[in-house]
Chains A and B, each alone.
Chain A
Amino acid sequence: MRDGGRRSAGGWGLDRRATFRFLYFPPILWLGIFFLLPLVLMLAFSFRANMSGELFQLWTPTFSQYAQLIKAGSYWRLLGISALMALGVATAAVILSYPIAYFLAFRAGERAALYLVLLLVPFWTSYLLRVMAWKLMLGTEGVINSFLLYVGWIQEPLTALLYNRNAVMLTLIYVWIPFVTLPILAALQRIDPSLFEAAADLGARPFYQFTRITLPLSLPGVFAAFFMVFIPTVGEYVTPLLVGGSSGSMYGNIIQDFFTKAANWPLGSALSMIMLVAALIFVYIATRIIDLRALFE
């Protein structure tokens, strides 16, 4: 604070404007250069015919990549399969987490905070290693096979456990459960307890209270949890790489291939654009259904 007492209203208006510029330009430039510009470049690359010539040069825009994508049904099928997998993963994670969130919100009592931390610990363990751990669980010499052999239920190790889409989905559900509980819990905690008292006074049974009060009021949290899993899961490429094998790959894996092994950036960019647009449309629809802002209060 400078001495000299009060200054005119115009005076602090000026500092406020100077401060505005100081606050405004760094984030807008950072996001512009490192978030918006890369996506625009990717869009531009998706209209490029091939990789010949310099990376940074003018090219005649062509729809050939998109034409190729539309013709080849396999990409759409894989996008569809990835979306279905994400749908399954998100649904399963939400259904499995809901009772946990309910327990933490209404039944855990004083220990709720401790139980919550206990639930979140796995989420703060190395992601790659948690996926690796599932390889150790499902592999031919893994925990499940060793156990079943030991008990004598099987004579030969089961090979069908690992390296397929089911293994990918199982691992992803496992990875997401702690994370999914949070928005559902937040929604449940926001329910006004006097609603339950009123319902009980009016003679509503616990089950009726659940279906008429708890469930409807927690739906924003449920939807939010669903979307928070669905979007990253559609774009997943790491988990399939580790536990999916050749038959468990997802849409993200072909994008990865086109940018690494195949080195076909234009086609990879077109594939990425399709995924980005799909994600944006999906989120737009989601924000029509739920008010996402309510989650972060």
Chain B
Amino acid sequence: MNTRRSSFPLYFYYFGLIALLYLPIVVLFLFSLNAKTSLSFPLQGLTLGWYQKLFNSPAILHSARNSLAVAVGSSLAATVLGTMVSILYLRYEFRSKNLLMALAVLPLIVPYIVLAVALLILFSVVHVERSLWTVGVAHTVVALPYVVLIVASRLAGFDASLEEAAMDLGADYPTTLRRVVLPMIFPAIISAFLTAFTVSFDEFALALFLAGTEPTFPVYLFSQLRFANRLPIMIALAVLLMISTLTLVFISERIRRVK
């Protein structure tokens, strides 16, 4: 069925759609190099000035650092908790097993606005002030399903005979987990961590409700959207962030392919 002639329309369609998908991003990129402040055509000469200004804008860099801290913290927590759930689900028999699994993947189907206001109520009721911590907690909850799905599918690929062998040789169960199970699923754990990281780093719908006086990058970006003269700098940072995200994704894919 693979004749070259019949593939041509599909090639055409693929590259046409790719062009459409990249068009807005290219437009953004152009504005990050445009000498004019207002985001309108025609463009007015090339400049790297916005990138320069970016490194003299402590508030923007500060928000990017906040996002980084939240993303690292929440994805670490989500990875640990999600790995625990995966091991429990695949290596133990207990009554609330399916309930635990359902609870761990349910955040995937609760609309973010609902979770955002629900957490806002929780933190307000117990008088926890909103901060990067509260954003991080929310991100841990929404990243957990991704971790569980990635780690559990890798763990399901190994049967328990290696663990039984380790225990027959005298290892206790915690040692077996540490020396046998964790190394086996390690690529999935790294990939899960990076996925959780990208979920958190760019997340806005929850952060808008839960960030206090310290904004994450998307929250700060949103607050600046109405100031036209700030936009080119924000776009410049976003371009840099996009490049770093891509690097992360490439690393994550590389690691995931290790089987």
Say yes or no: A31-B103 contact (C-beta < 8 A), given A2-B172, A38-B118, A126-B218.
yes
Which residues in window 107-157 of B have CB below 8 A to A?
Answer: 107, 109-115, 117-122, 124-126, 137-138, 140-141, 144, 149, 152-153, 156
A99 near B106 with CB under 8 A, answer: no
Interface string of B11-29 (1 = CB under 8 A from A): 1011001101111110110
B137 → A minimal CB distance (Å): 5
Chain A residues, CB < 8 A from B125: 41, 55-56
User: Which residue of the partner chain B has the closest CB to A250?
Assistant: B113
Q: Which of A124, A136, A268, A280 contacts B245 (CB 8 A)?
A: A124
- A259 — which chain B residues lie within 8 A by C-beta? 117, 120, 209
Cβ of B192 within 8 Å of any chain A Cβ, yes or no, is: no
**Nearest CB of B to A43, in Å:** 9
Distance, CA A141 to CA B27, complexed state (A): 13
What is the CA–CA distance of A214 and B31 in the complex, to the nearest angstrom? 43
What residues on A are CB-neighbors of B65 within 8 Å? Answer: none
B interface bracket (residues with beta carbon within 8 Å of A) = 35 or more
Query: CB-defined interface of B226-249 with A at 8 Å, one 1/0 digit per residue?
Result: 000001001100100110011001
Closest to B103 in A: A31
> What's the Cα separation between A269 and B104 when bound, in Å?
23
Bound-state Cα–Cα, A104 to B218, Å: 32
* CB nearest to B138 among chain A residues: A34
Q: How far is the CB of A217 from chain B (nearest CB, A)?
A: 15
- Assuming the contacts A124-B246, A237-B113, asked whether A15 and B253 have C-beta atoms less than 8 A apart, the reply is no
Residue of B14, B20, B121, B231 with highest tally of chain A CB at under 10 A: B121
Complex: how many Å from CA A22 to CA B168?
22
Let me know if A20 and B6 touch, CB within 8 A.
Answer: no
Instruction: Return the contact of B24 from the options A27, A39, A99, A137 (Cβ within 8 A).
Output: A137
- Expressed in whole angstroms, the minimum distance between the Cβ of B215 and any Cβ of chain A is 12
Among residues of A, the one whose C-beta sits closest to the C-beta of B39 is: A136
Residues from chain A with a CB closer than 8 A to the CB of B84 are: 23-24, 26-27
Q: Which chain A residues numbered 1 to 58 have a C-beta less than 8 Å away from chain B? A: 1-7, 11-12, 15-16, 18-20, 22-24, 26-28, 30-31, 34-39, 41-42, 45, 55-56
Complex-state Cα separation, A128 to B250, whole angstroms: 22
Asked whether, in the complex, the Cβ of A280 is within 8 Å of the Cβ of B121, the reply is no
Cross-chain contact B104 with A27 (CB below 8 angstroms):
yes
Residues on B with C-beta less than 8 A from A137 are 23-24, 27
Between B11, B103, B168, B172, the greatest number of chain A beta carbons within 10 A of the residue's beta carbon is seen for B172
Contact B119 A34 (CB under 8 A): yes
Cα–Cα distance between A127 and B208 once the two chains are bound (Å):
14
Once A15-B174, A56-B125 are accepted as A-B contacts, the answer to whether A1 and B118 lie under 8 Å apart by CB is no
Please name all residues of chain A whose beta carbon is closer than 8 Å to the beta carbon of B107 when the two chains form the complex.
35
Choose among A5, A100, A234 the residue that contacts B14 (Cβ–Cβ < 8 A).
A100
Q: Tell me the interface secondary structure of chain B in the complex.
A: helix
User: Are B141's CB and A56's CB within 8 A?
Assistant: no
Residues in chain A near residue B80, CB distance under 8 A:
26
Q: Is the CB of B94 within 8 A of A100?
A: no
Instruction: List, in ascending order, chain A residues with CB within 8 A of B113's CB.
Output: 235-237, 252, 255-256, 272, 275
B40 to chain A, nearest CB (A): 3
Known contacts A16-B173, A100-B14, A177-B17: A128-B218 contact under CB 8 Å: yes
Check if A297 is an interface residue, CB within 8 A of chain B: yes
From 164 to 216 in chain B, residues with beta carbon under 8 angstroms from any chain A beta carbon are 167-175, 177, 179, 198, 202, 204-205, 208-209
**A55 CA to B172 CA, complexed, in Å:** 49
Q: How far is the CB of A1 from chain B (nearest CB, A)?
A: 5
Residues of the A chain whose Cβ atoms lie less than 8 Å from the Cβ of B54: none
Q: How far is the CA of A107 from the CA of B179 in the complex (A)?
A: 43
User: Is the beta-carbon distance between B121 and A265 smaller than 8 angstroms?
Assistant: yes
**Across the interface, do A117 and B253 meet the contact criterion of CB distance under 8 Å?**
yes
8 Å CB contact of B17 from A16, A96, A125, A128: A96
Closest 10 CB pairs of A and B: A235-B111, A133-B24, A141-B40, A38-B118, A146-B41, A15-B173, A38-B122, A103-B10, A42-B118, A252-B113
Name 9 extra pairs, CB < 8 A, besides A121-B22, A142-B40, A235-B112: A19-B173, A27-B82, A30-B140, A42-B114, A56-B126, A128-B225, A232-B112, A255-B113, A259-B209
Q: List 17 A-B contacts (CB under 8 A).
A: A1-B170, A11-B172, A12-B172, A34-B119, A35-B107, A35-B115, A100-B17, A115-B14, A133-B27, A142-B40, A177-B21, A231-B111, A235-B113, A235-B114, A238-B205, A255-B113, A279-B110
